[in-house]
Structure 1
Amino acid sequence: MEDIFLTRMSWTNVGGLGGMTLTLQSIGVPEVRVYGPPNAEDFYQALKDFTYFPKIKVRVKPYHLSPMSDDVMTVWQVPIRAPDTSSHGGGLSPRAGSRSPDHDLSPKAGSSRSPSQSPVVRRSSCDVSDIDSESDDSSRSSSPRNSPKSKRRKTSQRDESLVISYICKLKPKKGRFLTEKALMDGIKPGVWVGELKKGNQATLPDGRVIDPTPYVEPDTPGPVFIVVECPGEDFIEPVTTNSQIAKYQEDGDEELPAIVVHFTPAGVAKDTRYQDWITRFGPNTEHLFLNEDTQTTSHEGTASLQACLNIIQPTVFPLLADNAIKPGSLPPLPHKHVRGECLLTYWLFHRDHPLQWDRSSIPLLDNEEAVKGAFALPGFEDSLKEMKETIATAFASDTAASPSYPEVVFFGTGSSIPSKRRNVTGILVQLSESESLLLDGGEGTFGQMYRHYGADVDRVLANIKCVFISHIHADHHLGLMKIFQERRRALQTLGEPQQPMYLIAPLPFMSWINHYRLNCENIGMDNKDFILLLSKDLSVFSNEEQNQEFNSLKKNLGFKQLQVVPVLHVCCSVCSSRLYQSSMSVVVSSVAPGCISPPCLLFCL
């Protein structure tokens, strides 16, 4: 994979870009080209606060450049704009009393603070020149304002009115060489055959000059496919009236597409204007819809393992929710309209092959079959019986009343790199029936939450009152943007007001989230959905308002005391000690390689 195409700067679209780039780097891809909105460059620059791309070159190619073309296909970028409804406010800062995320906190001359006490924000050691943005301005690279240093400090405003569609045309398939006819005419195998296959004249050893036309079938034109995103009703008119896409409809002068991929919400896709626009592609064009109706399911291997653990202790190991959309639960789509499914494949063959859907790789969960396989193992049934007796005896001898809360749910205990069976860090501490605390949230945390809770995930999201981020490493926070978005959606779905959520984080995270909010999209910050507290400020309070926010946090979560403690792992790493209003102690510890004192969380309940 060397080319990545973005339709817009939304976390739904770009949230996996950092992890994808790291993966490409780890497998030795030397360069990746990113096409789409110009702000992709700003996104990559912000990622460098906590990720490293020393071995891969990232080139951002904005939509106004010429088409991308290689040996496989040609891709045209089609910018589409809706009325601009985004707000362009100032930078996001923590609540009054905290310094701005970009404030210089290094020791000043005459300061009594020692260097070891100074919370200096360190930048990535990877040179920003590894990320290039190309434009039609040939003088850009030599302009002083575009030097690496100035590029890093450049601030542009987000543009939520822009989406990019893509028109893609495969290169023609070369015609087949008619070997039998050539042999009949005395053309024996040799280097001249290669020239004929290329469509060139060839001179045989006997001096004959052969024209390729009688011996090579005509080229087969490559099919066209189109990718369209229409994220809201404001975009329906600009999308359906776009003149460049209209060329590939029945009244246009270009070839009709084989398939159109729609990144379009179900409500927008049902709009009569959008449906009328779809019909203009003709009756033979396939339409694939990727939206909230897309069928999803758990990873087959993970679900099978969980099913086996469930028969040992169903309370500790509940069955994963099967979130696949059941047949008949959604209205049928018109002919040639297909809903996306996990691992559904569309084979885009050339015109001399049938275009077809392939559902052979779609995972199907069968818990009964998984358990049956476990019982087939030698000695499993006897071991299971012994284990259940041991558990029953342990519970029978425990006369102490076990409270329902706190409950600790591990969404991920891995480190650095997600795997199929062990996600990166994410821990939910349920303090009561209606309150919970999320400790870190690496990439994929919401997916883990959805697999665990299924249809109840909205209530779980709404109950999160505070998010605590231990440090800036990507495996501890790259999944939080999705959590923020889904929590806002969940509250709307449940008909509940948008209650502010406490966000406790180190200084570099505030800088990252502020940069994303300014250059990509609003994730709730503009609407006061968050009460932001810097980790370092929770031990020393400089004014009454900051102290008031902290006291409000303790009161809402039932803590008598909360203290953030720095640890030796990475700059601005912290653990926190919390004292609850009861007498039970719970310790949550996340072991990190190279950390002398692993970040930990102590609850005294």
Structure 2
Amino acid sequence: MWARARALPPVFGLARRLVAGSAMAEGSSAARPARRPKDVPRHVWARERRRSAGAGLAGPNTVYVQVVAAGSRDAGAAVYVFSEFNRYLFNCGEGTQRAMQEHKLKISHLDSIFLSRVAWANVGGLPGMILTLKAMGLQRCVFLGPPKLQNYLKAIRLFPGPLKRMDLAVQLHTEPEYKDETMTVYQVPLTGKPLAAESMLPQSPGASTQCGNSPKVGIGPGSPRAAQQSLEEGKEKESPKKTDDEQKCASRHSDLVMAFLCKIHPKKGKFLAAKAQEMGLPVGTPAILPIITALKNGESITFEGRELFPEELCTPADPGPVFIVLECPHEGFVDAICENETFQRYQEGLPGNQVALVIHMTPESVLRDSRYQQWLERFGPGTQHLVLNENSSAVHNPRSYKIQTQLNLIHPEIFPLLTTYQSKEEEAVCSVPIVRGECLLKYHFRPQQEWQRDAVTVCDHDAFVGEALDLPDFQTRVKECKESLSALPGNVGAYPEIVFLGTGSAIPMKIRNVSSTLVNTSSTRSLLLDCGEGTFGQLCRHYGEQVDQVLCNIVAVFVSHMHTDHHSGLLNILMERRRAFAALGQAFSPLFLVAPEQIMPWLHEYHNHCEEILGDIRMIPSQSLVKGCENIEPKAKWFVSSLLENYGLAEFQTCEVQHCKNAFACSMIHKSGWKVVYSGDTMPCMALVQMGR
């Protein structure tokens, strides 16, 4: 028997080869299909096979939109659209990639990323997202958005590493609509009117880029404008001409926002096989195929003298829901939205033009506007409205909250409980029902239109604590730990205080953010050592409503080297810091940036084509702080003296380390005697050892 059993596999293999050989000899079309190459992702392979099958295929069976980031100050607004054929992302602020990884939203399946405007709140997570897509084997991604999106993608290619080798295709609103297996997307350009910067900064940092004669926030000695002027002082023949400023302002397109009108492809009705069988039709035979095809296409057909109608044997066809993704940064865009003819066509209630959902990335001040409320009403009662803005208190990284809550049981001072930033702005009362965004909230378009909340993130403090207390010997070990700590000397000074905001590597992970460390040198002065993506979000979660004062306390940022995970959170710190000074009514002062001079081309590109930032920094090249360096410009020397004075330091020094080109470590010695050394990324390095002694 065992002999026969061992002989069966070769027999079956021989039989398979004989059948395959016979089929090939007869030219049969049933030849074995080609296998998926190992380097091609499964969903891409399936999509390409579907495309090669020809036109006329039905629309997707399952389509839903899911909130990735609900618009809170620490996370911005981003939504993910899923179908069995495609995946899409609308906006990608800092932390989007980390949230998607934590909640298992498959980044590798993204086909397209839509950006409503090139403000850092919307695009700050793109460098990390693109690096992740590249690491997952995706060679190409399509981006849709306003014209300056091209400039932004060109600018981030200045970063070292894989960003240079990724195929980043941009489809502007001037090109035909975007169309794939799931839906057709129409880009709707909206041109707004500028508002006074003072009224805009508290709700939407970076929402308006000042240029030319536009209003400024504080034009006194400590303002960003004054700082920009100070940057230009001492440079011969480099003062910018007015025409240059006008050209830069025009390239920024600060008054242009892109809305997206998305129309899901129609889905044919489902053939009712059981009913057809009851009527005596040849179900299960080749003769049924032309009958099914005709009926699903909406055509009647005669079979054996009997006329068959689609409504008899098919469920009703789904014409394809419509949804709109709309950002209205401030009241200056309300007229453009209300008067837009494309939107008006979808407010008339015509068949096929009924909007199922409007996603509003809109501050409360706009929601309160009577013009905007009247525009909402014109969609009718069948349209759902989802609002994503800073009034959301959603928790986007519950795993971090859980771990910190449990560690807090061991040492409450080292592991303080995380918090959420709560907006103080009162919620608008709308004339139509609205749904406030929550992380992972879903709205299904198919198979039926409905909200789904079963995946919404929650933080149950008591459950987190209970889980830890249930661990074997946990409470005993915690007691022993606290007893051993109480035996230590209690004369440790309050400063310097080190707050580790991110200790991960390369890309954000669900439980560890990328490199960033806050050094509090006193109660009123702080320094950031590296500033990876999500640094501001980490500050929000650590300090909550005190984050504005913490931002004002940060006088300098040290960037060790040009790898993206060490500096891609810098711009958000600059913008939120500017906003914090305005919110607290304090005089603005620019930030000292100690970094490799190679960071400046990136900052200039972003400043010239996206948003003004150079007025917020005073640049100190890391190369000029290496011990023994004599080639330091007078302006940089003055900046260094001011930096030392601000922090009460006796010395701030850098040295080159063994990592990538132009990678630096730093050390600082306080006048009171303490010393902090930060290595950045490095292999064992004698220069660092010498500086650290």
**Under TM normalisation by the shorter chain, which class is it?**
0.7 to 0.9
Are 2:657 and 1:534 aligned? no
Q: What displacement does 1:170 show?
A: 1.0
| Distance in 1, Cα, partners of 2:686 & 2:692 | 17
Q: What displacement does 1:287 show?
A: 1.1
Please say if residues 659 and 681 of structure 2, whose CA atoms lie closer than 8 Å, have aligned partners that are also in contact: no
| Equivalent position SS for 1:177 | coil
- Say if 1:545 and 1:323 are closer, same or farther in 2 by CA, change over 3 A: closer
Q: 1:140-155 to 2 correspondence within 5 Å?
A: none
| Equivalent position SS for 2:355 | coil
| Distance in 1, Cα, partners of 2:562 & 2:641 | 25
Cα distance per residue 1:411-445 (max 9 Å; x no partner): 01111121111111001111111111111111111
Please say if residues 38 and 61 of structure 1, whose CA atoms lie closer than 8 Å, have aligned partners that are also in contact: no
Are 2:97 and 1:12 aligned? no
| Distance in 1, Cα, partners of 2:658 & 2:422 | 43
Cα distance per residue 1:464-523 (max 9 Å; x no partner): 001111111001011111111111111111111222211122122111111111111223
Q: 1:168-567 to 2 correspondence within 5 Å?
A: 168-183=262-277, 184-199=279-294, 213=310, 215-250=313-348, 255-297=353-395, 299-323=397-421, 330=427, 333-349=430-446, 353=448, 355-394=449-488, 398=489, 401-523=491-613, 525=614, 528-538=615-625, 539-567=629-657
| Equivalent position SS for 2:600 | helix
- Say if 1:73 and 1:600 are closer, same or farther in 2 by CA, change over 3 A: farther
Q: What displacement does 1:298 show?
A: 5.4
Q: What displacement does 1:97 show?
A: 6.3
Q: What displacement does 1:549 show?
A: 2.3
Give the equivalent residue in structure 2 for 1:150: none
Please say if residues 367 and 428 of structure 2, whose CA atoms lie closer than 8 Å, have aligned partners that are also in contact: no
| Distance in 2, Cα, partners of 1:482 & 1:572 | 24
Q: Which runs of 5+ in 1 are unaligned?
A: 102-153
| Equivalent position SS for 1:348 | strand
| Distance in 2, Cα, partners of 1:503 & 1:62 | 34
Residue type at the aligned position of 1:18: P
Residue type at the aligned position of 2:556: C
| Equivalent position SS for 1:560 | strand
Percent identity, aligned pairs only, is: 37
Q: What displacement does 1:335 show?
A: 4.4
Please say if residues 446 and 479 of structure 1, whose CA atoms lie closer than 8 Å, have aligned partners that are also in contact: yes
| Equivalent position SS for 1:572 | coil
Q: What displacement does 1:45 show?
A: 1.8
Residue type at the aligned position of 2:436: R
| Equivalent position SS for 2:366 | helix
Residue type at the aligned position of 1:300: P
Are 2:143 and 1:49 aligned? no
| Distance in 2, Cα, partners of 1:17 & 1:217 | 42
- Say if 1:251 and 1:190 are closer, same or farther in 2 by CA, change over 3 A: closer
Give the equivalent residue in structure 2 for 1:573: 663
| Distance in 2, Cα, partners of 1:98 & 1:268 | 43
- Say if 1:332 and 1:49 are closer, same or farther in 2 by CA, change over 3 A: same
Residue type at the aligned position of 1:158: R
| Distance in 2, Cα, partners of 1:530 & 1:411 | 22
| Distance in 1, Cα, partners of 2:305 & 2:136 | 50
- Say if 1:192 and 1:601 are closer, same or farther in 2 by CA, change over 3 A: farther
| Distance in 1, Cα, partners of 2:531 & 2:514 | 8
Give the equivalent residue in structure 1 for 2:32: none
Please say if residues 344 and 359 of structure 1, whose CA atoms lie closer than 8 Å, have aligned partners that are also in contact: yes
- Say if 1:237 and 1:331 are closer, same or farther in 2 by CA, change over 3 A: closer
| Distance in 2, Cα, partners of 1:93 & 1:424 | 33
Q: Which moved more, 1:363-372 or 1:419-428?
A: 363-372
Please say if residues 461 and 487 of structure 1, whose CA atoms lie closer than 8 Å, have aligned partners that are also in contact: yes
| Distance in 2, Cα, partners of 1:565 & 1:319 | 36
Cα-Cα RMSD: 3.4
Please say if residues 172 and 219 of structure 1, whose CA atoms lie closer than 8 Å, have aligned partners that are also in contact: yes
Please say if residues 266 and 318 of structure 2, whose CA atoms lie closer than 8 Å, have aligned partners that are also in contact: yes
| Distance in 2, Cα, partners of 1:548 & 1:374 | 53
Residue type at the aligned position of 2:621: L
Residue type at the aligned position of 1:348: F
Give the equivalent residue in structure 2 for 1:118: none
Give the equivalent residue in structure 2 for 1:130: none
Give the equivalent residue in structure 1 for 2:176: 66
1:583 to 673, 679, 682: 673
| Distance in 1, Cα, partners of 2:505 & 2:117 | 30
Please say if residues 461 and 490 of structure 1, whose CA atoms lie closer than 8 Å, have aligned partners that are also in contact: yes
| Equivalent position SS for 1:432 | coil
Residue type at the aligned position of 1:292: E
- Say if 1:432 and 1:319 are closer, same or farther in 2 by CA, change over 3 A: same
- Say if 1:517 and 1:381 are closer, same or farther in 2 by CA, change over 3 A: same
Q: Which moved more, 1:244-253 or 1:362-371?
A: 244-253
Please say if residues 77 and 164 of structure 1, whose CA atoms lie closer than 8 Å, have aligned partners that are also in contact: yes
Q: What displacement does 1:160 show?
A: 0.9
Give the equivalent residue in structure 2 for 1:3: 112
Q: What displacement does 1:603 show?
A: 8.7
Residue type at the aligned position of 1:48: R
Q: Which moved more, 1:581-590 or 1:35-44?
A: 581-590
Cα distance per residue 1:558-595 (max 9 Å; x no partner): 12222222222112211223232122233333444x57
Q: What displacement does 1:390 show?
A: 0.8
Please say if residues 156 and 163 of structure 2, whose CA atoms lie closer than 8 Å, have aligned partners that are also in contact: no
Q: Which moved more, 1:334-343 or 1:456-465?
A: 334-343
Normalising by structure 1, we get a TM-score of 0.81
Q: Which moved more, 1:167-176 or 1:531-540?
A: 531-540
Please say if residues 391 and 422 of structure 2, whose CA atoms lie closer than 8 Å, have aligned partners that are also in contact: no
Are 2:145 and 1:36 aligned? yes
Are 2:185 and 1:75 aligned? yes
Q: Which moved more, 1:402-411 or 1:39-48?
A: 39-48
Please say if residues 525 and 553 of structure 2, whose CA atoms lie closer than 8 Å, have aligned partners that are also in contact: yes
Cα distance per residue 1:328-360 (max 9 Å; x no partner): 98466554211111221111235xx3x222222
2:261 to 164, 167, 172: 167
Q: Which runs of 5+ in 2 are unaligned?
A: 1-109, 195-207, 213-224, 239-247
| Equivalent position SS for 2:329 | coil
Which of the two has greater helix per residue? Answer: 2
Residue type at the aligned position of 1:231: P
- Say if 1:484 and 1:599 are closer, same or farther in 2 by CA, change over 3 A: farther
Residue type at the aligned position of 2:471: L
| Distance in 2, Cα, partners of 1:453 & 1:587 | 25
Q: What displacement does 1:95 show?
A: 5.5
| Distance in 1, Cα, partners of 2:520 & 2:691 | 14
- Say if 1:325 and 1:231 are closer, same or farther in 2 by CA, change over 3 A: closer
| Equivalent position SS for 1:258 | strand
Cα distance per residue 1:30-53 (max 9 Å; x no partner): 321111112222212221222414
| Equivalent position SS for 2:446 | coil
| Distance in 2, Cα, partners of 1:86 & 1:45 | 20
Give the equivalent residue in structure 2 for 1:22: 131
Residue type at the aligned position of 1:169: K
- Say if 1:440 and 1:94 are closer, same or farther in 2 by CA, change over 3 A: farther
